[in-house]
Amino acid sequence: MHTHQTVDFVRKKGAEYGACAQRQMSIMEALDLLDNVVDESDPDVDFPNSYHAYQTAEGIRRAHPDKDWFQLVGLLHDMGKILALAGEPQWAVVGDTFPVGCRVQESVVFSDSTFHDNPDTKTPLYNTQYGIYQPHCGLANVLMSWGHDEYMYQVMKFNNFALPQEAFYMIRFHSFYPWHTGGDYMHLCSNEDLRMLAWVKEFNKFDLYTKCEDLPDVTQLKPYYQSLIDKYCPGQLCW
């Protein structure tokens, strides 16, 4: 991931998938596809990601029974991992995300030892604090390493999901650990990013701490979550 995620690569993948012209299917059909995906980067999960989706959603439901949109985010958050089934390598699907086009910050895991073969390290502009960006330009204007977060965000945006802005932030940046956990890249953040950070942190608790081998009864849970899908993102969607 640290070798191949470059500005050019991210732009290429954004153009390839941003039009959401790969296929059409419903949320539940996409969730079923997650049964075929195991995230090789996650040491806490060795079962299909559809179960983790329900575990996360149910954890949020217990803590936030009044926020059905937040519960749905739990179900949706890793759905972009179906990229792995489209032939994308794991390093272009999973793993902690980070901005490209500027200097890698210290809280990026193994930042001091795994970027030496990345072509962007040869471009001086990309190795300054701000790189190709302006101070406090906002994360919406930053190129993030390509993976399931950005892909699912693009799907949500393209299909006009009727969810609040907080939901879009949670999906797009939940793997951006150097920001929401490491505290780095604040020099690129807008006031809106800082306001949303608390929501991303709140989501992260359920993403991390609901994983267990006690698998949920999906048959029992499906009708409830289908009702949320019908409310916020119904029908056949473009992916």
Q: Judge contact between 66 and 44, C-beta under 8 A.
A: no
Q: In whole angstroms, what is the distance from residue 140 CA to residue 166 CA?
A: 13
| CB half-sphere exposure, 30, CA atoms < 13 A | 29
User: Does 4 carry a binding-site annotation?
Assistant: no
User: Does 2 carry a binding-site annotation?
Assistant: no
Q: Which helix (H) or strand (E) holds 154?
A: helix 148-158
Model pTM greater than 0.75? yes
Digit-coded pLDDT (tens) for 143-189: 999 999 999 999 999 999 999 999 999 999 999 999 999 999 999 99
User: Does 52 carry a binding-site annotation?
Assistant: yes
Digit-coded pLDDT (tens) for 139-156: 999 999 999 999 999 999
Domains contained in the chain, CATH given: 7-238 (1.10.3210)
Which residues have CB under 8 Å from 177's CB, separation 6+?
A: 96, 97, 107, 109
User: Does 32 carry a binding-site annotation?
Assistant: no
Which residues have CB under 8 Å from 220's CB, separation 6+?
A: none
